[in-house]
Structure 1
Amino acid sequence: MAATTNANTYKLNHTMIRVKDLEKSLKFYTEVFGMKLIDQWVFEENQFSLSFLAFDGASALHHGVERSKREGILELTHNFGTEKEEGPIYVNGNNDPHRGFGHICFSVDNIESACAYLESKDVAFKKKLSDGKMKSIAFALDPDNYWIELISQDEKQAKAHTESFRFNHTMVRVKDPQTSLAFYEKLGMKLIDKSDHPNGEFTLYFLAYPSNQTRHNREGILELTHNWGTEKQEGAVYHNGNDGDTKGYGHICISVDNIQAACAEFENKGLSFKKKLTDGRMKDIAFLLDPDNYWVEVIEQK
């Protein structure tokens, strides 16, 4: 009997970004934001390491869950020696000609208290609560200048507690929203929310796998940002973070119940692969390419 797969069991497992100085980035995400290093792989032969971070306190949404079966993981990729190089190494995806990836987002239980706490820790901000028209969101900056959006959870506590923070979503810009939505729906994701902004001429689409959590209270969301009119432009509009000499953002990763069956289904649906299971040495992971050439890693749940 052929193996089967059930998309209702899939998870938006992690988001990968490259970091210049691993020690500095680990300290930032663990000591400042309260994330926990839940796994780490070191590849001495290939001179790089992968560090997996998540909110894992007693009240965390996925506390104690096995790494491949959870959502809301941040993967930091460190290529040995970059910490010794002068100046910035990676791009954050928000400036031309490398616009594409936008930010990660943490939801917090008291945004005013959280922002005050981060300022006390000397965290730099791209946008404070008091800046601009939108007074309900802020953007912090990590050591590599990646943007971290901060939003409020549904229920406000008297004071922010990092153990209640959640890795809510990852945002990427897309050229044609209908094409991108069709792709991610073929991966089993559902559109859970949409937000039009006529004044700014853009729309936000939020996709996720099935959950009983409300949008601001959950983890594992993909936000697609569409700037109106890009679908009419010729050729590629956005940079995927991996092509060329200038890199930064790497990929999102979905975990599936049966990787052989899932990849066979993705192939039957006509999806493009960057790496099939049979390619290269690593036979237990695959990489898909979305319509904007962003990479989507596929792993199997343990």
Structure 2
Amino acid sequence: MATFDNSFLMNHTCLRIKDPKVSIPFYTEKFGMKLIATFPFADFTLYMLNYETEANKHLNWSAREGVLELCHNHGVENDPNYKLNNGNGEKDRGFGHICVSVDNIQTFQDQLLKQDVKFQKKLSDGRQKNIAFALDPNGYWIELIENGIAKAEDKTDASTYKLNHTMIRVKDPKKSLDFYRDVLGFKLLSTSVHENAKFTLYFLGYDHDSNFKQDTLTREEQFKREGIIELTHNWGTESDSEFKGYHNGNSTENGALQGYGHTCVSCKDPAKFCQELVDKFGDKLDWSLKWDQGNIKNIAFIRDPDGYSIEILGHGLFEDKFKQQANL
């Protein structure tokens, strides 16, 4: 049996980017994140961003929740034909968005508009007046919601911001819920059913309180958290023989474009966890990279029922490099 101690957390979400000189300032200057680590490799560089707080600033990057990993493949910034898939087009849909919760959503939206940030949906658009969707330089959607932390009129403070969740579309919610709960140890935090539009949202994350009852978290509590995954189920896909599934963000089959990369689970002993999964599930799991077998050591990648990748790593990965960069 896999054992889930209180070290388990959802560490990061990875998105590919075209030009770090554009994307990094967007997230640091406009969204208030901090670039906490940069890891260069031969063909690509990883940029780790986070809402750094007094509570997490002493932790290694991989021991934190709410990290955004931007992956830059060297040279694509000079390729006029290089394009990324934001996951929301008619073709190759899958990944939907990342979500940032803020203290005062109206003030934050107004601030972004003054900085010429483009929006897919403003607060005043459509029926839902309490959410907005900004667009990053690569066309990825960023949902905005309000957590109300220390909310002040006509003010917004980046110290209250959270990288709240990552949304992916799933074909069969039963299979996906079983995977995220039984294999990865997530808890179902809440469910939101939208009968008129015929879709259901499932929010999952780690909760290590033994008294926590699944599917009971209020919106107010949920909006104050980080490290949540939102599974969107459009009704009927699970029984539609014509439905071909969602794009996982990584495949290039049939001319598909890449974009979204993966989410990531971190814990203190990932080698033990991976072995426990092998012992429990055998060949029933879809490993794209088994533990410690890739060019980058001490990581693994597993795929969920829809083919989305989840990285598994430890709290100490690249800690020496991180400390050097952070001057710790």
Fold shared by both chains (TM-score > 0.5)? yes
Task: Name 2:215's counterpart in structure 1.
Answer: none
Shift of 1:277: 1.5
| Alignment equivalent of 1:37, drawn from 28, 35, 38 | 35
Task: Name 1:157's counterpart in structure 2.
Answer: 152
For the Cα contact (< 8 Å) 1:5–1:258, is it kept in 2? no
- Cα distance change of structure 1 residues 84 and 231 upon mapping to structure 2, 3 Å threshold: same
Task: Name 2:289's counterpart in structure 1.
Answer: 275
Matching residue's letter, 1:216: F
Offset from partner CA, 1:15-48 (integer Å, 9 cap, x none): 00000011100010001111001111111x3x21
Q: Which is worse superposed, 166-175 or 243-252?
A: 243-252
Shift of 1:63: 3.8
Aligned length: 296
Matching residue's letter, 2:313: I
Matching residue's letter, 2:265: I
**Pairing 1:280-295 to 2, within 5 Å after superposition:** 280-295=294-309
Task: Name 1:223's counterpart in structure 2.
Answer: 230
Task: Name 2:263's counterpart in structure 1.
Answer: 252
**1: distance between equivalents of 2:79 and 2:156?**
36
**1: distance between equivalents of 2:50 and 2:190?**
24
| Alignment equivalent of 1:238, drawn from 246, 269, 282 | 246
Matching residue's letter, 1:171: M
For the Cα contact (< 8 Å) 1:8–1:188, is it kept in 2? no
**1: distance between equivalents of 2:223 and 2:31?**
18
For the Cα contact (< 8 Å) 1:242–1:248, is it kept in 2? yes
Give the gaps of 5 or more residues in structure 2.
210-219, 317-328
**1: distance between equivalents of 2:105 and 2:273?**
39
| Alignment equivalent of 2:95, drawn from 90, 101, 119 | 101
Task: Name 1:53's counterpart in structure 2.
Answer: 49
**3-state DSSP of counterpart to 2:277:** helix
Shift of 1:207: 0.2
**2: distance between equivalents of 1:236 and 1:296?**
21
**1: distance between equivalents of 2:31 and 2:208?**
25
Shift of 1:214: 2.0
For the Cα contact (< 8 Å) 1:6–1:257, is it kept in 2? no
Give the gaps of 5 or more residues in structure 1.
none
Task: Name 2:172's counterpart in structure 1.
Answer: 176
| Alignment equivalent of 1:12, drawn from 2, 10, 13 | 10
TM superposition score normalised by structure 2: 0.86
For the Cα contact (< 8 Å) 2:99–2:143, is it kept in 1? yes
Offset from partner CA, 1:92-137 (integer Å, 9 cap, x none): 0001321000000000000000000000111000000000000000
**2: distance between equivalents of 1:259 and 1:215?**
27
The share of aligned pairs that are identical, in percent, is 47
For the Cα contact (< 8 Å) 2:104–2:148, is it kept in 1? no
Shift of 1:12: 0.2
For the Cα contact (< 8 Å) 1:5–1:261, is it kept in 2? no
Shift of 1:62: 3.3
Matching residue's letter, 2:172: D
**2: distance between equivalents of 1:79 and 1:88?**
11
Tell me whether 1:193 sits opposite 2:190 in the alignment: yes
**1: distance between equivalents of 2:277 and 2:6?**
15
Once superposed, what is the RMSD of the aligned Cα atoms?
1.8
**2: distance between equivalents of 1:126 and 1:57?**
29
**2: distance between equivalents of 1:27 and 1:57?**
19
Tell me whether 1:66 sits opposite 2:60 in the alignment: yes
**Pairing 1:60-139 to 2, within 5 Å after superposition:** 62-86=56-80, 89-139=83-133
**1: distance between equivalents of 2:225 and 2:168?**
18
For the Cα contact (< 8 Å) 2:38–2:47, is it kept in 1? yes
**1: distance between equivalents of 2:208 and 2:277?**
22
| Alignment equivalent of 1:264, drawn from 258, 272, 275 | 275
- Cα distance change of structure 1 residues 26 and 177 upon mapping to structure 2, 3 Å threshold: same
**2: distance between equivalents of 1:89 and 1:149?**
22
**2: distance between equivalents of 1:170 and 1:229?**
22
Offset from partner CA, 1:46-89 (integer Å, 9 cap, x none): x210000001145xx63443211110000000011111122551
Matching residue's letter, 2:290: K
Matching residue's letter, 1:262: F
